[in-house]
Amino acid sequence: MTYEKKDVVIKIGTSVLTNSKGWVSPSRVEEIVRQVSENRKKIKSVIIVTSGAIATGLSRLKINATPSSLKLTMKQLCAAVGQPSLMAMYTKYFDRYGINVAQILLTEEDLANQYRYKNFWRTLSALIEHDVIPIINENDAISVKELIPINPYVPDSVRFGDNDRLSAIIASKIKADLLIMLTDVDGFMMPTKNGVKLVRELRGVNKKLLSYVGSPGVLGRGGMLSKLQAAAIASRAGVTTVIANGLKKNIITRILNGENVGTVIKPTHKRFKS
Ligand code: GLU
């Protein structure tokens, strides 16, 4: 099925935006923007959840390291340096298509606290109504999830810890039709006797599959456990998820056209649109 006139959330992983050095490559951002812009009129609304702030900070500060190898303070520093540059790239490339974008940075507490959540929601809705594309990232510079991994003041339903889960929570809350999660692998690859095989379709993601994927040796690249956990949240909210390779040519366009690419996780529950 095509996703014409649908509400879509697109999550862009760091690996989709970086080169072999791990630094953010403007041409990668440009390519994502081109595809979103060319499809903008076809779909009803689009929200981007982007990673890459830390990697952009690494590029600007010319630090040779991977985001995961950094100590917390360095991660926060790099994110604080990188986030405005990352947004500047999105803004510059979307400008070419006459599309306005907005930045929203979130922590778990913003979703857990009723007042802050309402404010977020109001702003998000207004942006969508005014045809502005919201670009969301976790507010890494002030997020404390690594200091308090399980914050008792944050209910499970809005605990995110990474952008995969954040994108699924947002897609569920806005009752999106589709969540696209772009990474640097073709989808969920299952080990087989002769190597690995791409799983084309799942209906929901059950606990058994999650514990299998989380077991040593199975996980593979692309952060698949957190992607499948996120897809489980989306599927319970009636949202279809596609996990696909963001480095492949025209991948967003192909997904929106209903082509059979990546791993599609179908919903297990109906979506109730108000
Ligand atoms: N928020 C981080 C960044 O922008 C990435 C975290 C994630 O991908 O989950 O670099």
Name which of 232, 238, 218, 217 is nearest 263 in CA terms: 232
> Residue 55 has what pLDDT?
94
> Residue 273 has what pLDDT?
65
75 vs 184: CA distance, rounded Å: 22
> Residue 29 has what pLDDT?
98
> Residue 26 has what pLDDT?
96
108 vs 117: CA distance, rounded Å: 10
Q: Find out whether the beta carbon of 223 lies less than 6 Å from any atom of ligand 1.
A: no
C-alpha of residue 194 to centroid of ligand 1, in Å: 34
Tokens read off for 229: 């956990």
> Residue 178 has what pLDDT?
97
- Residue to mutate (ligand 1; options 11, 69, 86, 137; most atoms within 8 A of CB): 137
Q: Find out whether the beta carbon of 105 lies less than 6 Å from any atom of ligand 1.
A: no
3 state SS of 183: strand
> Ramachandran region of residue 200, left (φ > 0), alpha (ψ -120 to 50) or beta?
alpha
Q: Which domains does the chain have, with CATH numbers?
A: 7-266 (3.40.1160.10)
Q: What is the pLDDT along the chain (274 residues), one digit of tens a residue?
A: 788 789 999 999 999 999 888 889 999 999 999 999 999 999 999 999 999 999 999 999 999 988 888 999 999 999 999 999 999 999 999 999 999 999 999 998 898 889 999 999 999 999 999 999 999 999 999 887 766 667 777 777 777 778 999 999 999 999 999 999 999 999 998 878 888 899 999 999 988 888 878 766 555 455 888 999 999 999 999 999 999 999 999 999 999 999 999 999 999 988 766 5
C-alpha of residue 163 to centroid of ligand 1, in Å: 6
- R_g over Cα of the chain: 18
> Residue 252 has what pLDDT?
97
> Residue 208 has what pLDDT?
85
57 vs 69: CA distance, rounded Å: 14
DSSP 196-238: EEE--EEES--HHHHHHHTSTTT--SS-HHHHHHHHHHHHHTT
Closest ligand 1 atom number to CA of residue 138: 1
> Residue 148 has what pLDDT?
64
Query: For the range 219-224, what are the long-range contacts, defined as Cβ-Cβ under 8 Å and sequence gap of 24 or more?
Result: 220/185, 220/189, 220/196, 221/183, 221/184, 221/185, 222/13, 222/15, 222/183, 222/184, 222/185, 223/13, 223/162, 223/164, 223/183, 224/185, 224/188, 224/189
231 vs 206: CA distance, rounded Å: 10
Q: Find out whether the beta carbon of 163 lies less than 6 Å from any atom of ligand 1.
A: yes
